[in-house]
Amino acid sequence: MPRMDGISLTKKLRENPKFKATPILILTTESSDQMKQAGRAAGATGWLVKPFDPAKLIEVIGKVIR
């Protein structure tokens, strides 16, 4: 994204009451534990590392919408 990364976007969305309960999955090339922790701290519901398996994406979506 040209002006904001996924973690910043997640923080911004979580500030808006309309998105407090909306599941947010971060799809990224970053796989470090530090980045995953930053995503969780920002309010991300889940984290998927590219390249990803489409079946795994469907599995993760199923978990977060329950």
Output phi, psi for 6, to 5 deg.
Answer: -65, -35
Domain range enclosing 24: 6-64
Q: For residue 45, what pLDDT is reported?
A: 95
Has residue 43 been placed in a domain? Answer: yes
Q: For residue 62, what pLDDT is reported?
A: 92
Domains of the chain: total: 1
- List the CATH number of the domain containing 17: 3.40.50.2300
Closest by CA position to 61, among listed 35, 33, 22, 29: 22
Q: For residue 14, what pLDDT is reported?
A: 97
Mean pLDDT per 10-residue segment, the chain (66 residues)? 90 96 94 96 95 93 88
Has residue 1 been placed in a domain? Answer: no
Q: For residue 22, what pLDDT is reported?
A: 95
Distance from C-alpha of 7 to C-alpha of 66, rounded to nearest angstrom? 23
- Tokens encoding 52: 């990803």
